Amino acid sequence: MATLDDVRKAIEAALENLSPAKAQQLAKSFADPDTAKDQIAKAATEMLEWSQRSRERLREFVGREIASQLASMGVATRADVDGVKKRVRELERRAGMTASGRGAATKKPAAKKASARKPATTKPASSASS
> 114-125 pLDDT, tens per residue?
444 555 544 455
Return the pLDDT at 8.
74
Tell me: pLDDT of 24 over 60.
yes
- Is residue 32 a part of any domain in this protein? yes
CB 13 within 8 A of CB 5: no
- 15, 55 in Cβ contact below 8 A? yes
The predicted structure's pLDDT at residue 101: 52
Say if residue 23 is in the same domain as residue 71: yes
Maximum pairwise Cα distance, the chain:
111
Among candidate residues 75, 95, 110, the one where a domain is terminated = 75
Q: Mark whether 40 and 88 lie in a shared domain.
A: no
Give a yes or no: residue 26 inside a domain.
yes
Residue 51 reports pLDDT greater than 90: no
Number of folded domains that form the chain = 2
> What confidence score (pLDDT) does residue 14 get?
67
Residue of 22, 18, 97, 5 lying closest to 55 (CA atoms): 18
5 and 40 co-located in one domain: yes
Kindly report the number of other CB atoms within 10 A of residue 18's CB atom.
21
- Which one is predicted more confidently, 50 or 31? 50
My answer on whether 38 and 60 are in the same domain is yes
- The fraction of the chain above a pLDDT of 70, given in percent, is 71
Closest CA to 18 of 48, 40, 63: 48
Q: Per-residue pLDDT for 47 more than 80?
A: yes
> Which amino acid is it at 12?
E
For the beta carbon of residue 40, count every other beta carbon within 10 angstroms. 19
The pLDDT value recorded for residue 10 is 73
90 and 36 part of one domain: no
Residues 61-104: tens digit of each pLDDT? 999 999 999 999 999 999 999 999 999 999 999 998 765 555 44
Q: Examine the domain organization and report whether 34 and 90 are in the same domain.
A: no
The percentage of the chain sitting over the pLDDT mark of 90, rounded to a whole number, equals 29
Model confidence, pTM: 0.49
